[in-house]
Structure 1
């Protein structure tokens, strides 16, 4: 895979993560010759669990990959939100009812399993997979676009899809911005379920405890054989401007005074790695000439909506559908039209996800009186009210949608407790 191929493809995809593989798969399914470049020596993903809402499992079903994804993951029964201090339940979603409403399930899966699934599908469709290729710049050229690599080699195609992540090089063609530091950091763990069974852990649910400047997530993986844990907290060292922030000692202090379930889970967290949480301010333009941004290069979110990987998968599918709709009888793609159509629908939708994620993060992490008011507000929610999920889980990926509510438009100080 790491040899440099010859011949001009129809499309270059830069970035071999979930977004890049999704885009390559979507375009290869439409009959295009796709070449994908990955910076690392081999394809792979680090991390633990992912939540795939119906707007993602719908795309996997279109690709014929949903059954395999389900076999690799878990279909949880409920999503339950609890208070991190007293463990009291605040609200929940019945995920079987959610599937009935949206036509596709809510799935949790190991990140590496989803990545491997998409990689195998790309290989099956003949995507040209190239590793050890560090792209350092992008250029528009007559009739297409070019990627330039660190060793001086270049490649050209009719279009280039830049799925090159949070620190995207291609994004610099459109805007000179920097990642936004949330001052929050995540620790993760994926552990055998047998190590925690019987300690009050939900075996068939996604559970999130929300608390003062912290939250803690648990759900099963790999057919219930593993438990995924995520501990997220605000780092005082980050707020103070220190370079080494989000350290393990901060992890332990952040959850002092939290409920027994969290305290039992903390010793199981991986301590040798951490994920600092950055996003970027939304941008309205993702396309310049024949170069298009996709995934985190375009819209890196904070994790509170569990939509980062989902939006990347959806991006690829939307792009593939617009390319297909603008491919003539002779197989020639109207790339200007296809990229303009992609540009017309994705940035606004993803802007809403990024800004909603920020708002939900603020809501989750309230302390003091605001925490009590938030809890009262969430407990008042009808569990079968989908006002706040229709816009994101419904089949809206190809069309613009109206501005959705972020959460109930009730001032917290008006909620009686």
Structure 2
């Protein structure tokens, strides 16, 4: 049980709509700057669904600043390598030495259960005094003279000088303020987290994050919870989706998609949860994240496909950036912050970086799923990569454009871009 805190009278400084990782991370970041924050969560309890999540150094540096990294380490796993293999023949294509990666960036690469990361932020918010309200379904957003207001399904309203919409991929705020549709990639993801004993005879690498890339599919494996659990993600292109059917991504398609893969992958497929699956959707990048005193954040602002493992990280970064600019403009002082200047800075910092993540994730997905001769060309080029070359990760794992006072890392195209892949 994750009970909410009782509602308190008065107007908070900030309303955060959505109690997921992005919403709670933002609430905690803002509260650290002396702001009074109220979180509105539509569910009856705070919680998170899913399985594993990968946290690259651009996220663990923020957890470290928040004083939360040690707890995250205690609940997660610090893998030794990230290894990419061909899903058909299991041959290694390329790798990252994650211990050297930590030396390079100064912060570790961590894998953790989504619910454990959510719990870390939930406990941090409670300890910091964030007001956490559940069973609050927001149906509309409105501008006011002094900020913004949200309307709830039960007819009540809440208002504050700033409203942060962290209400996810299917955001009510995004639909109302932008009006665009989600974009289907025709790919679907199945997940599972099982006791490690169930996979030890499958030939798995317990100390690594392993990604098997295959024609129209890929498979990800890594340990969780101190090595006691094993996380698996199976992703494939759905023929039913391509054909325009509504019932796409079903378990029969899962089995067919991985039928020709290597032994380790095929042994993992029967363990996947078959009562639920996740259609892989994103949205086209947008230039405007701020509408008056309403700020879009996380998947409401820039939902990516999952290939760079940056979705939740971008939401955490968003909250860090917003809090930093509010602090620079008077948060926690008697006069209060210059809301509009802080929001302008937030938008200026985040739009381009997040656009790059979204567009690169789409390209990376195409690269992973190549067929025929293009697959063989990709494999040959990847095998030539120096395992200690960080030229294509610096822009995202390094100190990304978190502040206009910092120079973002220069952009380096993904290797293979010139090979028409």
Give the alignment of 1:168-183 within 5 angstroms.
168-183=171-186
Indicate if the aligned counterparts of 1:49 and 1:111 stay in contact, CA closer than 8 A.
Answer: yes
- Cα-to-partner distance string for 1:133-153 (whole Å, 9 max, x where unaligned): 000111110111111111110
Cα 1:348–1:410 change in 2 (3 A) is: closer
The whole-number CA distance in structure 2 between the counterparts of 1:311 and 1:170 is 18
1:211 maps to 214
Aligned length: 414
User: Cα deviation per residue 1:76-108 (whole Å; 9 max; x = unaligned)?
Assistant: 000000000000000000001100111100000
Structure 1 residues 82 and 65: alpha-carbon distance in aligned structure 2, compared to 1, 3 A threshold: same
Instruction: Measure how far apart 1:410 and its partner are.
Output: 4.9
Distance 2:104 2:20 in 1: 30
**Aligned Cα root-mean-square deviation (Å):** 1.4
Conserved 8 A contact 1:359-1:406: no
Distance 2:250 2:415 in 1: 35
Q: Residues 92-171 of structure 1: matches in 2 within 5 Å?
A: 92-171=95-174
Any conservation in 2 of the 1:212–1:367 contact (CA below 8 Å)? yes
* Partner Cα separation in structure 2 for residue 3 and residue 330 of structure 1: 26
Q: CA deviation at 1:7?
A: 0.9
How far apart in 2 are the matches of 1:327 and 1:182?
43
- Distance, in Å, in 2 between the alignment partners of 1:254 and 1:199 is 19
The yes-or-no answer on 1:361 pairing with 2:365 is: yes
Q: Determine if contact 2:98/2:109 at 8 Å carries over to the other structure.
A: yes
Q: Which of residues 74, 79, 104 in structure 2 aligns to 1:76?
A: 79
Q: Which stretch shifts more, 402-411 or 101-110?
A: 402-411
Residue matched to 1:412: 419
CA shift for structure 1 position 408: 1.8
Partner of 2:20: 17
The more displaced of 401-410 and 276-285 is: 401-410
Q: 1:375-401 deviations in whole A, cap 9, x for unaligned?
A: 011001000000110000111222463
2:44 aligned partner: 41
Tell me whether 1:236 sits opposite 2:239 in the alignment.
Answer: yes
TM-score of the two chains, using structure 1 as the length reference: 0.97
383, 386, 389: which one aligns with 1:382: 386
Which position in structure 2 is the counterpart of 1:186?
189
- TM-superposed deviation, 1:4: 4.3
**Matched residues in 1 for 2:198 and 2:144: separation?**
57
Runs (5+) with no aligned partner, structure 2: none
Question: Residues of 1 paired with 2:293 and 2:135: CA distance?
Answer: 24
Residue 411 of structure 1 aligns to a residue whose secondary structure is helix
Local SS of the residue matching 1:203: coil
Partner residue of 1:398 out of 374, 399, 403: 403
- Name the structure 2 match of 1:318: 321
Structure 1 residues 410, 29: closer, same or farther in 2, change over 3 A?
closer
**What displacement does 1:247 show?**
0.1
Determine the structure 2 residue equivalent to 1:372: 376
1:229-263 deviation line (CA, Å, top 9, x unaligned): 00000000001111100000000000111000101
For residues 13 and 294 of structure 1, the distance between their equivalents in structure 2, rounded to whole angstroms, comes to 10
Out of 248, 253, 256, the residue aligned to residue 251 of structure 2 is 248
Q: Which runs of 4+ in 1 moved over 6 A?
A: none
**Residue 160 of structure 1: how far off its partner (Å):** 0.4
**TM superposition shift of 1:173:** 4.3
Q: In structure 1, how many angstroms separate the alpha carbons of the residues matched to 2:38 and 2:97?
A: 41
Q: Does the CA-based 8 Å contact 1:162-1:170 persist in structure 2?
A: yes
In the alignment, the residues of structure 2 paired with residue 143 and residue 410 of structure 1 have an alpha-carbon distance, to the nearest angstrom, of: 48
Following the alignment from structure 1 to structure 2, what is the Cα–Cα distance between the partners of residues 173 and 184? 27
SS of structure 1 residue aligned to 2:174: helix
CA-CA distance at 1:6 after TM superposition: 1.9
Q: CA deviation at 1:347?
A: 1.1
Unmatched segments (≥5 aa) in structure 1:
none
Deviation for aligned residue 1:402: 6.2
- Counterparts in 2 of 1:213 and 1:377: CA distance versus 1, 3 Å: same
Q: With structure 2 as the length reference, what TM-score do the two structures score? A: 0.96
